[in-house]
Structure 1
């Protein structure tokens, strides 16, 4: 009996999401999909900066006041954030989310330098104190934000849950951040389109993927234009100003968290991104501000 492919669309993390699984028994696979969706929503509840009861909000509310105890999962994410800060040369800084208080991408307004200055003074991951299973943000107003890899982490966790239950064909797609469980039932890879950063319904490439993860960071998700200049939501933590060298960077990696981190760091590195991408050893497809494309082994695949 040939497996059928079942689709389970849902909303999470301010994104349209979908889990696509192949199975003989539709009822059994639906239970698994719902368990995976529940895991995504657990991570959103736990780490969303928009929920007052999340661990992230509790850490931020305690800034300059007291230390907050963390569970093992949160400590692992904080350790990963510390690793990303190091490998990015300080560009990937989870305390830079505070800059969103100056930028509202729903309206075209560039904040003045004196608006950014007090916020930039709060961007300082090395000052954050992590010891004895807890974290302390030393200055009032400091914040952390796992948004730089939260969706990708959730995709990996949902995929791990499905793999533990024997699912071998399908993928998890959280707003374009994708983690693959295995090929289509007939063994063919999934054909995934890379979004055209200048055409909402267009694609610029089609990538064949069976395993691993594919994520994209770009200047087209949240942005506004003023006088022909595009201001996107990817902000340089040193200046508080949006990056502008790349339209998008897509990365293929074994894990979604890794792919997403590398693509975001590449955006932040601007003109220095290509040596960084080459050093990563990962496949990528990048489009610069002039529309020129750069890629390396993007048709590759990662076995589980």
Structure 2
């Protein structure tokens, strides 16, 4: 990886913040004085608003909501960005044999993690089976020539595990196209950084940890690298003392119970890191680590044990941490 360059003389530090996708975003950067903070704020928000307009199932008029309501066996022309995210999501679904599934919308709603709102009781077996019958990524077809996708009938896409990472990437591209070479972008805990600060230090960030975990703190230098974390502690509900997280296994229809509390993935693209973190969380430690090794992906797993937590790192993650320590 190339060494990060220093901000040009005359660059000023900006700290911009806003709201998107049900969470907060923040951009720290060094920008030329020709840019006003208001101009950059508006430009960044526009990038994120476009992701919401295309891929938020919470918005009735979004492109994904229109796809979900479309008649069965019809081809729907999608915006380029939406098509790109769906295409990658189906690729990960194929690689993981359905451990990751972008057609999980019915299951997400059934368990109270979709736009229909929260639930106070667990769904019954017939309802889960019905939602599983409608979770069928293999039935979705794509036509790259005109960016269209086949709606097989009552398939509900949910790209929330990928779209937020894509939004981070879009903001990063917008900043770079604007000539900004030193930045740190965050959207709801997903990050991407480039360049360094005037003191020649890169953008150091602390990897997300469980609130109650005593796992060692890990920090990473983000120069052309993004970070995404999937964890069962972010969104969940409890019934009779039992926790049900939003990490739903689309192969069984139930939230995972294998003990993996979080997975953090580092990758040049946040969209890819986002999807991989979700997939590896669903797969569990053993299968998820095999997948990480197969892809040479930098991944860290935190697993709940009887007496606390254990931390497991892929070879690529260990190598990246050692590289950062050597800098």
TM-score under structure 2 normalisation? 0.84
Does the aligned pair in 2 maintain the 1:120–1:239 contact within 8 Å? yes
Distance 2:17 2:30 in 1: 15
Shift of 1:190: 2.3
Question: Which residue, out of 300, 312, 319, partners 1:285?
Answer: 300
Aligned residue-pair number? 299
Distance 2:244 2:216 in 1: 22
Task: Give the 3-state SS of the residue equivalent to 2:111 in structure 1.
Answer: coil
Shift of 1:142: 1.7
Q: Does 1:104 align with 2:90?
A: no
Cα distance change, pair 107–62 in 1 and its aligned pair in 2 (3 A):
closer
Alignment of 1:1-304 (within 5 A): 3-23=11-31, 25=33, 27-64=35-72, 66-104=74-112, 106-131=118-143, 133=146, 134-139=148-153, 141-199=154-212, 204-211=216-223, 212-244=225-257, 245-271=259-285, 272-290=287-305, 291-295=309-313, 296-297=317-318, 298-299=320-321, 300=323
Cα distance change, pair 267–63 in 1 and its aligned pair in 2 (3 A):
farther
Distance 1:41 1:3 in 2: 27
Distance 2:216 2:20 in 1: 26
The root-mean-square deviation of aligned C-alpha atoms, in Å, is: 2.3
4+ residue runs over 6 A deviation: none
1:181-228 deviations in Å (ceiling 9; x for gaps): 22223221223223332449x985241323210110000111123455
TM-score under structure 1 normalisation? 0.90
Distance 2:274 2:81 in 1: 19
